Copies of this chain bind each other. A is one copy, B any other.
């Protein structure tokens, strides 16, 4: 099954558009876990178990593990191994390099981590993307219009007809011959989200920015889903995983994940 169909299938099966982001920081983990041998892994395990029923996807932010060196990479591998089969497993790595190097990154995320998809920075163009796209079952979410303030610096650069982010969307649609391309579009840009969805009716979207970053959830859903009310994964990281920093953190994460899933579903049903 190609990546596009799998995203659609999982969203339908789980009846959820929620992606839980595992941006795990030791300092924010409850004290009891912080002193364990594998605090990142123990925390993630508890969060995954508590929230998996409500999540269509988990996004693991590679940076947060790299920052712990070799032990962090071990925790990254072990975290991926804990993810259940009926979710989309996203390696949020934002990689991108010339062909022979991109092939190495592809090996790391697909063959070692067994991620279903990876975030990729499009700046270096098609030959930097191609090594991630050879297997139709494995997907790429290309950065298109990101949720951060710096998205204004280059992504709106315009040739008078198109902004760079629209040019990226146009190209990624053309690269989608194996039905395994997607786009990252931030919820903090609701109007642009509408425009990119219109240009890209067949692409899965990964939409950050609805939690701590402040994007409006209902508007992001309305503007980001496809014609069938699917094909969009809305990421929330900190608002869910740090819903409580006490010993009830897993239950608090579960409640917040469930509430967010319901909010997302309410928003798509009210259209």
A185 CB–B CB distance under 8 Å: no
Contact B155 A127 (CB under 8 A): no
> How many copies of this protein are present in the complex?
2
Complex CA distance for A107 and B94, rounded to whole angstroms: 17
Contact A98 B154 (CB under 8 A): no
A97 CB–B CB distance under 8 Å: yes
Contact B164 A151 (CB under 8 A): no
Instruction: Name the B residues within 8 Å of A69 (CB-CB).
Output: 73, 77, 108, 112
Instruction: Render A94-137 as a binary contact track against B, CB cut-off 8 A, 1 for contact.
Output: 11111111101101100010000000011111111100000000
Number of interface residues of A (CB under 8 A): 53
Instruction: Name the B residues within 8 Å of A122 (CB-CB).
Output: 123, 153-154
Contact B171 A105 (CB under 8 A): no
Instruction: Name the B residues within 8 Å of A124 (CB-CB).
Output: 94, 121, 143, 146, 148, 150-151
Complex CA distance for A99 and B146, rounded to whole angstroms: 12
Interface centre among A66, A121, A171 (most CB of B within 10 A): A66
Instruction: Name the B residues within 8 Å of A64 (CB-CB).
Output: 101, 104
Instruction: Name the B residues within 8 Å of A269 (CB-CB).
Output: none
Min C-beta distance of A237 to chain B, whole Å: 10
Known: A94-B95, A121-B121. A108 touches B67 (CB 8 A): yes
Instruction: Name the B residues within 8 Å of A168 (CB-CB).
Output: 154
Complex CA distance for A151 and B127, rounded to whole angstroms: 9
Chain B's closest residue to A213 (CB) is: B98
